[in-house]
Amino acid sequence: MNKIIFIVGMAGAGKSAVSDELVKKGFGFVRFGQITLDKAAEEGDVSEANEKRIREEVRKEHGMAAYAILNIPKFDKLLESGNVVGDGLYSWDEYKVLKEKYGDNMYVIAVYAPPETRYERLENRAVENDPNNRFRSTTKEESKSRDYAEIENIEKGGPIAMADYTIINTGTLEELKKEINRILLEINDSY
């Protein structure tokens, strides 16, 4: 069976960079939070405050495992033809739902960078022609507020603590790529 790797970490840690490298290696791609960004764009308000409201509404309607449950059909479809990376696993409930569904075919990679490093990245990461709003800038205050909300309200620490692998992302992109390759070798050796 094909493998599914979920990427966890706080905003600005480098989840998208890891996911992008896996996509270059042929992995199918699903971004958990695309549901939020699509809804915000539909409303004409792509801002941290509106995205926070949408995330909370989605979880209120579908429960804390909402983003896992709503994305499972996408994961399953992509798994039919290859390995998959899911960018942005957040809540402990999402982790539990996905672990039950995918079992030993599921791996979690946590990407870590210290808060000040992440906040600096987030202040400077806007990218032109970013149709999916993956790389929008946020102020240090917005980033810190998001950190607290994600840790306190959606139990984001659980999936990070339960990760199979952790990448400390404080170096260069080349160092990050080497670490990804090392992890993939270990995963490939496991089956």
**Per-domain boundaries in the chain:** 4-189
Band of the pLDDT at 129, cuts 50, 70, 90?
A: low
Give backbone dihedrals phi and psi of 188, rounded to 5 degrees, phi first.
-65, -35
More confident residue, 77 or 47: 77
Band of the pLDDT at 189, cuts 50, 70, 90?
A: confident
Q: Which fold has domain 4-189?
A: Rossmann fold (3.40.50)
The sign one gets for the Cα dihedral 93, 98, 104, 105 is negative
Q: Tell me what percent of the residues of the chain surpass a pLDDT of 70.
A: 93
Burial class (CB in 10 A: 0-12, 13-18, 19+), 49: exposed
Residue 134 confidence (pLDDT) above 80: no
The sign one gets for the Cα dihedral 39, 45, 51, 52 is negative
Q: What is the pTM of this model?
A: 0.87
The sign one gets for the Cα dihedral 161, 67, 150, 138 is positive
Closest alpha carbon to 87 in 23, 3, 169, 179: 23
